[in-house]
């Protein structure tokens, strides 16, 4: 069956059982600043699970676009993706276990109305109870499964880690106000030989790839109480006003089960994109797959195929939903997906632009249910082309510098100065027969990250999350601007926030009055003079006290480690500006003035009480 077939059958099945089919909520949650993405079907329905009445009634079903950034490292095996569709049916205080488990079983096994799966391949799990919270075992679910006809040796019970569901995990981890309950999962046995590296015995929750979870019925009936004195034991929970069912099933995995092929990247929606990758790499995905003894252990080529397929599908949904690559929040996640894909394409030997072409394969695949993907084809294409070109430039530049280094390759400098990924340096070095001391590089990177976190991430509250050439230039321009503001307005000016992208820089600073045109012109003039002067930008690591003595500018309220890195514009003993900062920066201010560019203040406005905000560009 195809993705469309399974989605339709599921929604029809529950519509026939008096469920109202509701549309997917957007992938970026509305009115919920606490989370970047919708990551499960229940998320948009939390208010109703808590007791509010839903306008469509007490029985709902849908297919929800979901994205789990936390699974990004898992992508590469046979069953994990960051983006997926979650089929869901809900009882808001209406039916409960006695209906839910038989219905789902019926959907899985019935040939006419459902998927017609072989019942012998189904395994189920139930909640074994949890000592820490005192929550009892769900023996009722076991009895229901037995009555349905599931054999004893296909029923397994696990503790809270596996068979308790809340967005925060096990009962003890749930914050006050969070809802949760015991759940019962169904697994499909793909019949692959067990891989003992994952444990002596295979069982539904074994990670070897033989069993894949295809649906989870959560009996959402508890809420964590407000009274902190009750701790995390059973007393800390109270029953929700109504007992709910929250069912979630991974659509792609269900499709894979109908094909009896454990590899979810073989389902129809990936066909077109996979074909593009095959023709561009000259490798056949199926051949790559066949060369491994099992799906748990993946070859790097297979991983690369899968990562690109997953990430480009997710990127298409994000771009069509209005997200753009950027340095913060959703935009940063999108940028990460694109850049990771590009590195994987490189591993497949694809050296020219490819991502837009891969993503082009998803428009048609989702046309029937998510027309907006098809309709956004142009945007998806142009944004991917732009981002890919920009990152390729970073890579080319870094590669050039790496060549210049000969046999003494400095992965750390390549990363901090040119944004060149460390893993890539390692691989290239390997090609030259040079084994880099990765432990030492790692240690330096960790130190750098700590410094960046303390110095840059806290300081630049909005984040300087990428190291594209233009972003780095704006970062240096930002240092020049802060100093120029102090020279024009006075030394009470300090930075209070910042956000730097490849399009512009933004600074929030302590100052109460609107700046006059003369003041703005004076600031611009000073910055442009420093650019024209071609001053070196120098990084020095030193004791915190020493940096303070030098008067290095630092962020209000930030705490710094004992050893800090400072960046000076101009030599340290004769600097125009000195700041605590993790970098990266240009090597020389003249780079900001390339092609006759001038620093220009676009906007000066109030940000909050006593804080002004400037947006500026180099153009
Ligand atoms: N909330 C459960 C899950 O996300 C079932 O929908 O797995």
**Quick one: tokens of 380?**
């998806």
Q: What pLDDT score was predicted for residue 297?
A: 45
Residue 229: pLDDT over 70: no
Mean pLDDT, to the nearest integer, of 46-60? 89
3-state secondary structure of 538: strand
Compute the distance from residue 554 Cα to the ligand 1 centre, in Å. Answer: 45
Determine which residue's CA is closest to atom 7 belonging to ligand 1: 248
Of 37-46, 65-74, 357-366, 430-439, the range with the highest mean pLDDT is 357-366
Q: What pLDDT score was predicted for residue 425?
A: 83
Band of pLDDT at residue 456, cut at 50, 70 and 90: very low
Chain length of the chain? 619
Q: What pLDDT score was predicted for residue 186?
A: 98
Structural contact between residues 329 and 499, judged by C-beta atoms closer than 8 angstroms: no
Residue 288: pLDDT over 80: no
Q: What pLDDT score was predicted for residue 298?
A: 55
Of 592, 591, 586, 577, which is closest to residue 484 (Cα–Cα)? 577
3-state secondary structure of 295: coil
Residue that the structure tokens 């000076």 belong to: 568
Determine which residue's CA is closest to atom 6 belonging to ligand 1: 248
> Who has greater pLDDT, 598 or 225?
598
The dihedral region occupied by 46, where left means phi > 0, alpha psi between -120 and 50, and beta the remainder, is: alpha
Compute the distance from residue 599 Cα to the ligand 1 centre, in Å. Answer: 51
Q: Three-state SS across 334-380? A: HHHHHHHHHHHHHHCCCCCCCHHHHHCCHHHHCCCCCHHHHHCHHHH
Ligand 1 pocket at CB < 6 A: 40-42, 88, 165, 216, 218, 246-248
Edge-to-edge, what's the strand order for the sheet holding 577-580? 537-543, 563-569, 577-580
Residue that the structure tokens 């804080």 belong to: 611
The CA-atom distances, in angstroms, between 529 and each of 230, 521, 584, 592 are 65, 12, 22, 11
Atom of ligand 1 nearest to the CA of 167: 1
Helix boundaries (H) for 432-578? 438-451, 469-489, 517-533, 544-549
Q: What percent of the chain has pLDDT over 90?
A: 56
Residue 121: pLDDT over 80: yes
Structural contact between residues 101 and 141, judged by C-beta atoms closer than 8 angstroms: yes
Mean pLDDT, to the nearest integer, of 141-162? 97
Ligand 1, pocket-test mutation among 89, 185, 213, 216, most atoms within 8 A of CB = 216
Determine which residue's CA is closest to atom 5 belonging to ligand 1: 248
Compute the distance from residue 361 Cα to the ligand 1 centre, in Å. Answer: 29
3-state secondary structure of 211: strand
Residue 464: pLDDT over 90: no
Mean pLDDT, to the nearest integer, of 326-350? 88
Q: What pLDDT score was predicted for residue 292?
A: 47
Mean pLDDT, to the nearest integer, of 171-194? 91
The CA-atom distances, in angstroms, between 586 and each of 505, 526, 537, 583 are 15, 18, 7, 9
Compute the distance from residue 246 Cα to the ligand 1 centre, in Å. Answer: 7
Ligand 1, pocket-test mutation among 66, 86, 215, most atoms within 8 A of CB = 86
Distance CA 552, CA 540 (A): 12
What is the per-residue pLDDT across 509-568, written as a single tens digit (0 to 9) for each?
989 899 999 999 999 999 999 999 999 998 887 888 888 888 888 765 556 666 677 889
Determine which residue's CA is closest to atom 2 belonging to ligand 1: 248
CATH 3.30.930.10 placement within the chain: 3-259
Distance CA 240, CA 245 (A): 12
Task: Please state the CATH superfamily assignment of the domain spanning residues 3-259 in this structure.
Answer: Bira Bifunctional Protein; Domain 2 (3.30.930.10)
Ligand 1, pocket-test mutation among 14, 35, 42, 161, most atoms within 8 A of CB = 42
Compute the distance from residue 42 Cα to the ligand 1 centre, in Å. Answer: 6
Q: What pLDDT score was predicted for residue 244?
A: 97
Atom of ligand 1 nearest to the CA of 216: 5
Return mean pLDDT, the chain. 88
Residue 489: pLDDT over 80: yes
**From the DSSP assignment, how many helices (H) and strands (E) are in the chain?**
20, 16
What is the per-residue pLDDT across 558-617, written as a single tens digit (0 to 9) for each?
566 666 778 899 988 889 999 988 777 888 999 999 889 999 999 999 987 788 999 999
What is the third-level CATH fold of 469-618? 3.30.980
CATH 3.30.980.10 placement within the chain: 469-618
What is the per-residue pLDDT across 568-580, written as a single tens digit (0 to 9) for each?
999 888 899 999 8
Mean pLDDT, to the nearest integer, of 329-349? 89
Band of pLDDT at residue 294, cut at 50, 70 and 90: very low
Q: What pLDDT score was predicted for residue 561?
A: 64
Q: What percent of the chain has pLDDT over 70?
A: 91
Distance CA 207, CA 298 (A): 13
């Amino acid at each position: 069956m195809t993705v469309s077939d399974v989605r339709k059958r599921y929604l029809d099945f529950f519509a026939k059982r008096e469920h109202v089919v509701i549309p997917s909520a957007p992938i970026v949650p509305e009115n919920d600043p606490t989370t970047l993405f919708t990551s499960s079907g229940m998320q948009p329905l939390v208010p109703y699970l808590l007791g509010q009445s839903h306008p469509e009634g007490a029985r709902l079903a849908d297919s929800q676009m979901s994205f789990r950034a936390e699974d990004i490292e898992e992508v590469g095996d046979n069953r994990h993706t960051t983006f997926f569709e979650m089929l869901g049916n809900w009882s808001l205080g209406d039916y409960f276990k006695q209906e839910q488990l038989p219905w789902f079983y019926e959907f899985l096994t019935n040939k006419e109305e459902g998927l017609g799966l072989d019942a012998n391949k189904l395994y189920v799990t139930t909640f074994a109870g949890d000592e820490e919270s005192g929550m009892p075992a769900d023996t009722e679910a076991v009895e229901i499964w037995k009555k349905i006809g599931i054999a004893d040796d296909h029923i397994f019970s696990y503790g809270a880690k596996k068979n308790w569901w809340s967005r925060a995990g096990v009962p003890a981890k749930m914050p006050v106000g969070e809802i949760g309950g015991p759940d019962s999962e169904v697994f499909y046995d793909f019949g692959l030989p067990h891989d003992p590296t994952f444990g002596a015995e295979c069982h539904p929750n074994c990670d070897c790839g033989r069993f894949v979870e295809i649906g989870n019925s959560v009996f959402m009936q508890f809420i964590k109480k407000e009274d902190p004195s009750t701790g995390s034991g059973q007393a800390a929970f109270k029953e929700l006003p109504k007992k709910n069912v929250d069912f979630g099933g991974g659509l792609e995995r269900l499709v894979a089960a109908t094909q009896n092929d454990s590899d979810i990247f073989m389902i129809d929606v990936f066909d077109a994109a996979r074909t593009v990758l095959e023709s561009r790499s000259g490798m056949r995905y199926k051949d790559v797959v066949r060369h491994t003894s099992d799906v748990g252990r993946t070859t790097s080529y297979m991983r690369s195929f899968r990562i690109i397929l997953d990430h480009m599908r997710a990127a298409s949904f994000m771009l069509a939903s209005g997200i753009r690559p950027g340095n913060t929040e959703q935009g940063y996640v999108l940028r990460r997906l694109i850049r990771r894909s590009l590195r994987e394409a490189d591993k497949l030997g694809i050296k020219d632009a490819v991502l837009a072409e891969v993503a082009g394969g998803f428009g048609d695949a989702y046309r029937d249910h998510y027309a907006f993907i098809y309709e956004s084809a142009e945007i998806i294409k142009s944004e991917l082309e732009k981002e890919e070109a920009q990152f390729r430039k970073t890579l080319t530049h870094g590669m050039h510098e790496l060549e210049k280094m000969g046999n003494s390759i400095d992965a750390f400098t390549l990363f901090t100065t040119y944004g060149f990924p460390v893993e890539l340096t390692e691989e290239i070095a390997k090609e030259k027969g040079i084994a880099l001391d990765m432990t030492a590089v790692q240690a330096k990177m960790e130190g750098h990250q700590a410094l960046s976190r303390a110095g840059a991430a806290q300081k630049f509250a909005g984040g300087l999350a990428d190291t594209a050439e233009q972003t780095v230039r704006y970062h240096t321009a930002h240092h020049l601007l802060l100093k120029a503001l102090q020279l024009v307005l006075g030394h009470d000016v300090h930075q209070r926030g910042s956000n730097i992208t490849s399009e512009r820089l933004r600074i929030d600073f302590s100052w109460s009055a609107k700046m006059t045109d003369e003041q703005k012109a004076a600031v611009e003039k000073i910055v442009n003079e420093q650019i024209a002067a071609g001053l070196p930008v120098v990084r020095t690591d030193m004791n915190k006290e020493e940096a303070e003595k030098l008067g290095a500018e630092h962020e209000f309220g930030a705490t710094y480690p004992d050893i800090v890195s400072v960046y000076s514009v101009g030599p340290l003993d004769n600097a125009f500006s000195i700041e605590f900062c993790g970098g990266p920066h240009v090597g020389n201010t003249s780079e900001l003035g390339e092609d006759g560019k001038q620093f220009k203040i676009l906007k000066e406005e109030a940000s909050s009480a006593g804080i002004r905000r400037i947006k500026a560009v180099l153009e």
